[in-house]
Amino acid sequence: LVRDVRAVAAPRARVSLLCHSYGSVVCARAAAGLDADDLVFLGSPGTGADTAADLRTRARVWAARGAADWVEHVPHLDAALFGTTVGFGTDPVSEEYGARVFAAGDGGHSDYFAPGSLSLANLTRIVLGHAQEVTR
């Protein structure tokens, strides 16, 4: 799908994937095969990867969580249980994960795209390729 977007838009078009909540797990699982410039995790329960480097992507990996987002209280761990793995692992906003963490303001789990919000301003900067202007 990302390849198709580039083909339709233009080969040099910037492609950023904004991955919210459980969508961050889906994006992370596909990351190695995606031709994206930025991969952004918002309100993530984890990605299934221990570190951003484990995603094996050329994309810049970003992460943020609003101050009132309940997902902060989800245990960020994974464990083998009955032949499968449960949990989503390392918190993407933690230092050990290694993503570029940015400010998302005071919002809750559904507020990342709220008009006028700090998170939306920073997402806009990321999508436009203005990484140096992103508020940390």
Partners of residue 41 on adjacent β-strands: 19, 63
Domain spans of the chain, in order of start: 2-133
C-alpha span between 103 and 62 (Å, rounded): 11
Contact 71, 95 (CB under 8 A): no
Indicate the pTM of the whole model. 0.88
* Contacts with 122 (C-beta within 8 Å, 6 or more apart), sequence order: 64, 102, 103, 104, 134, 135
Task: Provide the pLDDT for residue 123.
Answer: 98
Question: 47: buried, middle or exposed (CB in 10 Å: 19+, 13-18, 0-12)?
Answer: buried
Partners of residue 86 on adjacent β-strands: 79
- Of the two residues 96 and 14, the one the predictor is more confident about is 96
* pLDDT tens per residue, range 76-126: 766 666 766 555 778 999 999 999 999 999 999 999 999 999 999 999 999
In three-state secondary structure terms, 124 is helix
* pLDDT tens per residue, range 26-76: 999 999 988 899 999 999 999 989 999 999 999 999 999 999 999 988 877
